Amino acid sequence: MRVGVLTGGGDCPGLNAVIRAVVRKGIEVHGWDFVGFRNGWNGPLTGDSRPLGLNDVEDILTRGGTILRSSRTNPYKVDGGVDKIKQVLADQGVDALIAIGGEDTLGVAKRLTDDGVGVVGVPKTIDNDLGATDYTFGFDTAVSIATEAIDRLHTTAESHHRALVVEVMGRHAGWIALHSGLAGGASVILVPEKHFNVDQVVSWVERRFEKEFAPIIVVAEGALPEGGEEKLLTGEKDAFGHVRLGGIGTWLADEIAHRTGKESRAVVLGHVQRGGTPTAYDRVLATRFGLNAVDAVADGDFGVMVALKGTDIVRVKLSEATAELKTVPVERYQEAEVFFG
């Protein structure tokens, strides 16, 4: 058997760990051949591929990013895209695909399965917003990076007695903001799941200043003030219809400064959250996902995604994996004295 592997969407710590696990088990246990398609779905669209052997994955466990590179290509936005993929797979003798990605990548995997291509999905997103799995790899690393940044910002905020607004990733789900804000001792956490009242945020900030503490506000990029609109870096949309968000942190910092008369600064963590060495947790989870994806291919169980349920790795239908996003249940955390706008 010859198996293709690709990574789609945003890069994420742990992608290489999945590739390593897939290739090692596939070769050493099953004797399969592997081909890596470059740049997400653009690889099988254009035939851009490379062989994957044991030597190619020997030292990639700890590396961030993906040796296969990535893109936000949507073959269903390309004329004849599905037929092109089928032809490339036939020409290269590929019997099955393992697609590693988030909502958009797995959405394409689901549609390709419906169109007769054998695909197994592996869930990847730092946002942790796929509803069919308890956790996605990359999330733990992103939270760790954001938490360390917040820890460092506490000291400089206190030194200058200023408010600092930390903008983290999270388009529609505020898991990174929630976990890093809790772990970093933020004064306020703002998530996309609940629109925030600016007056209330300012009140909490002033309360911290009155106690001689420097407030830290953690805000997800997709968070919205009541009656407000998303802050966009650009109005352009990618192949999946997403616009680039960003700027809510700067906007909120300016509002706080204007209303309190106190110095307020914004720190946008951006792609720092995606890069670098994956945590031990993400390496282990990614490896387990990769090993179980190989099992699904061996069983001919296509149209599924491997998922974490409790401590077990299970298989769920790709249709279930992409049915809805997993969002923060804000009401569950109100009782824990967490300040949500």
Q: What is the pLDDT of residues 293-328, one digit of tens each?
A: 999 999 999 999 999 999 999 999 999 988 888 999
Ramachandran bin of 212, using left for φ above 0, alpha for ψ from -120 to 50, beta for the remaining angles:
left
* Span 42-93, pLDDT tens digits: 999 999 999 999 999 999 999 999 999 999 899 999 999 999 999 999 999 9
Binding site members for Mg(2+): 103
* Span 267-281, pLDDT tens digits: 999 889 888 999 999
Res. 232 pLDDT band, cuts 50 70 90: very low
- What mean pLDDT value characterizes the chain? 90
* Span 109-162, pLDDT tens digits: 999 999 999 999 999 999 999 989 999 999 999 999 999 999 999 888 777 778
Q: What is the pLDDT of residue 333?
A: 66
Closest CA to 204 of 328, 333, 337: 337
Binding site members: 10, 103, 125-127, 162, 169-171, 221, 265, 271-274
**In sequence order, what DSSP letters do the residues of 52-79 get, joined into one string?**
E-HHHHTT-TT--S-TT------GGGST
Res. 266 pLDDT band, cuts 50 70 90: very high
Order of strands, sheet of 2-7, starting from the edge strand that comes earlier in the sequence: 49-52, 33-37, 2-7, 96-101, 119-123, 304-309, 312-317
* Span 213-229, pLDDT tens digits: 889 999 999 999 987 66
Catalytic residue among 33, 104, 127, 140: 127
Annotation says 127 is catalytic: yes
Q: What is the pLDDT of residue 340?
A: 55
The residue written with tokens 């969002």 in the block is 327
8 Å CB contact between 9 and 102: yes
Ramachandran bin of 67, using left for φ above 0, alpha for ψ from -120 to 50, beta for the remaining angles:
alpha
Rounded Cα distance, 316 and 309, in Å: 10
Q: What is the pLDDT of residue 156?
A: 84
Binding site members for substrate: 125-127, 162, 169-171, 221, 265, 271-274
Centre a 10 Å sphere on the Cβ of residue 104 and count the other Cβ atoms it contains. Answer: 23
